[in-house]
Structure 1
């Protein structure tokens, strides 16, 4: 019985993965989660020395993004790269989101078959970053999560933890605020949204909210005659004026690409039509037009269905952010070498 218990302690379950040409593994008990790159949002903090550090949020806790090239000091030679997944690993009191190229799966590692050999790469105090072990007939590095980062990298990350936690708290406030804005986009709520997004580095979201706030302040009271040319913020301003005045009717839009309309019902933007598009997408395309004219018809028939459900201020804020992102992507595509 005693021999069986000792043998069992020498068998471990490990997560096996590949980074570049290197084969690695880590005890499965240390692994918190696996995330495909496309499913996570990465956030960036700036250190006092101007350097940047990315992190993701795992169950409300920041996990520092680490590439083994950087951790092992070869990033200056090999450069940086994107990888398709992250393995979130517990490292002492911290979480590391280690970039991985390929996940092989979980294997049983029998340490009784062959004694592990310490790696040549050591950390402060002479501790190896891991040990060489054999899995499926190939050598792998069994990483020690507490030795992946050097003391100097740990020291650089420690001051950023407070900023990362503050970022997390602001994100939580945003998640609580957005449903309220969708129902009723108040000036106070939109100001809070602009402030929180700006502080969390969401520049386009903050700029969109600021634009809507400024236009709300400039919006004239409805006096029965609303018309103008596209290509400026006047359509946005008039839309907000009609919304705050709780008007019903349609804004008829004429553009070189064809006609469209925006329907309002007691101040709510309830639908839009442009070409084959309907609802939000049609509203976005109409607001993106730079040539044409529009006029408001208070006698137009109401729409048969309501395709836009959110409050006017919030709908316009989201669309402005989307248009800014589309312009950014288009600029990158058209810029040589980007």
Structure 2
């Protein structure tokens, strides 16, 4: 517990702010790791600004919790979890637009449904990603179909001082599964995105990719998504990609367990929580894999999942 009863009571005076002290965070992360912490949920930008100013005045640190996918949480945190639940009008998605200004808390699954309905080219890149829009932007989420950075126009954020600003996307804004512009304490609250035209083949493309995920990924059990980044190397101008799942399979670690955490037998770049797994279990399994990869191939995989 970090927030006192007095501090929580002060924040709760705003009906657009919800405060939970020592909250069980199992349901707030797709990995379902044992974790808990103080959680503040905000439902508007003014409420977000109020919370950031308050936490700054109380000298408290915070981290933004989106959909909680592609994330490993500690058992106990020494910061405040801040979560946005800014609503979007469903009427806003009743028809296609050239540009969309969306709350960062918008779920990608909702946008995928919209893309299927109207055939929006470019939106297929986030098919099946269980994330909020803000979280997807933060890590430049993507699939084999592409990355979300290709459809982002700009975004609006509040920094740790509570100051509003915006960032217009340039070719240098993103890298592979990362961004190059967010600073510590920045909170994205809205994102402007575009599509690349109307394409009648998009609905089938999305359906095909969802079917592929169902066949090749462990969707029915708690995971954090892909654990490691694929490794890309250049040799005499030729690019070689070492796919993490394939290499982990080749070195014989598919199915390896640490306590209640298992390297998936379906796709080796996923770890399955069999119930009761912790961050310590996760780090131990990562160490075993990277030690083996280092021994056999001379490098270690970088993490795709964010470890807090």
Question: TM range, normalised to the smaller chain?
Answer: under 0.3
Q: What TM-score comes out, normalization by structure 2 length?
A: 0.26
Flag the structure with larger Rg: 1
Q: Give the strand-richer structure, 1 or 2.
A: 1
